[in-house]
Structure formats: C-alpha cells, structure tokens
Structure 1
C-alpha cells in the first residue's frame, strides 16, 4: 500500500519526475541500513524555486533537494553550498535539518542534489490545519516563536563555524544592493516607472557599517515547522540563501513576507492565497515584530525602512527572475503567468516605503 500523503506533500508534478531506478540504485549503494520495499516519491507543494521531494523506502525516509528545471542563474541553487550550511548549523541550531549526503553525479536525478532528514510537524502558510482552535493567544505565541528563533540564529558566533569559510562579510550590504540590481537588469521584461528612483535610493542609503551574523535570508512562516501542539519550532527549511551578513537584512526579508490585514490586496495575495498573518487576529504587526526583535536582540532598528525597502525590492527581483523564465518558456507553470503584475506592485511598494520615515 502506498503511504498516505501528509498535508505538505502532493503527487510529483508532471515534468518534475525523478528516475526511480537510478535513485534506488544510488540509495542502495550509499545509505546504510536502507529498508526494503518499493521506493515511493512525493513532492512538497510549497516553494517556487528548488524542487523538494519526500522519498521513502520501507521505514526509511528522507528529503531530496535539487535545483529547478531549465537554465538557472550562476551561483543560484547551489546544492553543495546548502549541504555545507546544514552540516555546519544542524549540530548547534537543531531546527536546521540534519544533512545526510550530497551528490554531484547529475545522471541520477538530472542535477546535483542532496539528502537530508525528513522532519515531521505542522507548516502553517495560508491556513491552519483542521481541528486547531485558532485564538489570539496562539497567533501571538507563534509570532513570538518566530522572533525568538531569529534572535537565536543571529546570536550564534559565525567565526566558530565553517560558515566563515564560505562567506565574505566585508562589503556585504553594498554587494547585496548592487547584486540584486544586476539580477533585476538581467531578467528585465517590462518598463516600471519608479524603478530608476528606487535603485538610486537604495544605492545612496546603503548602510556603510553593520554587524555580521549568520543570516537565513529566506525566513518566513511557510519555511518553519512547528510541533503538533504549536508550542515550538521543530524545523526551519530553505537554507540556500544563508550567509554571513547584516542581521537586519534578515529581519527585513522576514518582514517583506510578513503580511498584515491592512496591507494592499496585491501585497497580500501576490503569491496566491493570503497568508495566515493577514487573516487572523493576534499575529504581531510588522512594527510589533520589529520592536520585539530589537528588545530581545538589543539591536538598533532606527533605520529599518532601508531594510524593508530592500526586502521588497529583493522579493520583486525573485519574482522577476521567475517571470522571465516563464516568459522565455523555460517553465510552463501557470502560477507564474501574472508575476509581472506582482513585480510591478512590489517595486511601487518598495518605492513608497523608501519615501516613508518610521
């Protein structure tokens, strides 16, 4: 009997199948104490980037990650780098999944890939699972756990880990601003009126001095997994962007994803259905989240509007890269057909945030 799908997995999408025979042979050669039984593969439904699969053979299970199909940007979707990050972090920050092995043999699944532990729990995105009593206290508690885990990650001394070897902290913010502007230009399709003003503002307002910590750089609710009674975080996923840099950039990216009920409809629904933070009372507002982070970390958030502006611009660039791939026929996923409207809205929103003063 095939195993049941959990709430976070779906049958493998057409065109994204893996070679079962090649993968099974690889597992038999490389995994000790592999269970017998047929190899079963499901796909994780969340995410617009790397392809992530649940693989199961008898009682043994793991998660396989590989880059998206089609051409990918240089240095993007680096599976070996993500494997090294998890190897460094899992022992000291156990919500990061334990990595099992990395393979650069592209004949097995069509690209480089790695295997990591399958964590079990609840991922909250646009709705809560059935049977959960949704209260203001619960929503506030989940918000506070998100703040606390980010503070905890930023408290790790990166110099005590191997991340120091794969990161270049000096000049981080200048490199980020110039790098993401460059990525946008390479994937540009439509003219957007306020773009030049926004790029100029980001360059002129880039902080020259800041702290360096380990940053996740894709920190959001649907990358977190909670235990069954939603009291604590048991998993944090998608570490491919992780580096050593300005911790406020990490907070900014988190807030770029953190919608609240009074946001515009395009902002709330830009990536599909509205996230729970914009639907249910009790979740911290962005300002409350930022203030709680400042209190728990002791960091100064006076100039935070730069980081939020940059976060919305960065999200726009990611959307633009996806839309560019769709427009060029490199992906046919219909979810991406209207991403140009989402990108335009984010650019406009970033420009508006830039002109505000907190």
Structure 2
C-alpha cells in the first residue's frame, strides 16, 4: 500500500495514477463496516465510496502489528511485532510493543526488523515526512516505525491534515504520512456505538474535507476496525484455567499464552480448547505459523515471540486474566485484534489526484 503510493510519486505504480507528491492518511481504529454504518456522519469520506474501496488488514488486527505492516510493507512474521504484548525470549519477560519501548527496554533500531517506506523513499531521493501528535515525536514506537521520516507534530486532526497537505505541496516528490488516532481512542473508551465515537468520526471527516493541493494524491486507510465488547461477553480465566501458564500476552481479543518450562504442552492445549470451546479458537504456535496468518514467511525471531498457545476470541468476546491484580482493562469497550470482518476490513479511499 505505502510502497504503491510511493511508486505513484515516481510514476511507476501499476494501480495508481502518477502524482507530484503523496499523502498516506491512517485513521486508527476505523473499520470499513463501521464507517459504512455511520456514513451520515462521514460524508466526505464516504462520498463515492464503492465496494472495492476496502482492504484487509493483517493478523493480529492490532495497532502495533498492523500499523508497522502499513509503514514497512512487511507482514508481522517479518517485522516481528506479532501482538500488543509479547514475550521477549532473551529475557523471559513480557514487553509492550506499542507504549513500552522505553520502560521495557526495547531497541527501536533492532526489535522492529524491517526497513520502512520512509527509508526507501529517502534512499531514492524523495523527501519523507510524518505528521502526528507532538507527544509521539520521540517515542520508541515512532523511532521503530517512522525511521527515515522527518516528524512534524500538530495537536488537532485538522491541523495534522493541513500540515501534511502543506508539506506535500511544498516538497514535490515527497511522501507524507498523517496519523489520526482520535477514532481509536474514542472507540476504546466509549465503544463504536457511542456519541463520543461518532463525534470523533465527524471531527476526522471534517479534517479530511479540506481541498487537496493540485497534483497531490491522498490515500486514506486504517490499521484495523473494532467490535464493542459488553461486560457480559467477557471471558474470565481463573487460576484453574491458568495452570501451566507462565505469562498471558497479546490482548483480550487475541491472547498469547506462554507456558511454564515444565508444563505438559499437549495437556494444557487440550484443556484450553475444552475450556474455551465456542468462545475462542485455540491454536499452537506451530499451527499459527503454518496457517499463514502472520504472513507467508515467519522468521525464527518473530516466531519465538508468538505464544505457545494463541487464543482468538469469537464474535464480540474478550478474554481476561481474572487473577491479575489490575483489572482496569476490563472497562475498555471497543476492542480489536481478532479475525472478524469488523476488525480486519478497512477503508482504502482515494482523494485528490488519486480520486477515481
């Protein structure tokens, strides 16, 4: 996706028309089904949106994995960010791949293993920029996924879009990335059926209603969609479910379970499949790797970060560790990470010089 957009700047894309500069806008958390269901609140985005204006995001459908795939063109099995929280095999501890780079001791230069589109753009003589919230300017995730880009911060969604368009217009031949997290934040806290989520969608839609500079092509997409998980759909794992489990990683819609060294792996797998029958699909690490869900090729480094068992919640359920001291995460309404169409189908919209 991003590389095809960069190819359009060079006039070499097989699917996109040539443009003078390109802007990739990622609206975090906006699924295609959710967008269509609320089309009346997003008239700019949905104007002319057809059935083919969608794409399928990667698995797991979570920001750390999917956003990295968008910005590198690599599958999670290649870039190595295979979930929200995963095991660092070298140290035997869970690490947060979205917000824990500094606190959990991750090296942005090596933990994320793939070259970014910004590095490829810069190497071929194209200016590369990223526009996001100022607080993200120096984060570890930014340094891992935006390598090669010159970062510009702006507080409001409209300011970020304006800055991205201005950079594209002032630097012909440039590739610009614009990140809009407002919809995702509202969805997690209030759910996609909430007034707050609709207000965030309207704000982003208004930001993208501004005219695109002449010759600039804009591609609008998302890293994932969401489902609302009501309290009665939560699956709570108590101690008898967790025997033989050392760590639970991933996130509630897609759990990585890492076994104790002396655990009977087959016995734990059978117990989990029995305990979660009808609630989640449980697979071993080898089964996940062979399935191709993480991509056609999974590096040994990435595979080692995958749980011994992986449980993917069905429908709109979510799985929680009932023995954990901190249960605040159970207040989260909108969630993602799984395999439903609501989570994996995302919009792929063309604006400006790319408009059909």
TM-score by length of 1: 0.27
Query: Looking at both structures, which has the greater relative contact order when contacts are Cα pairs under 8 Å and sequence separation is at least 6?
Result: 2
Name the structure where strand makes up a greater proportion of residues. 2
Name the structure where helix makes up a greater proportion of residues. 1
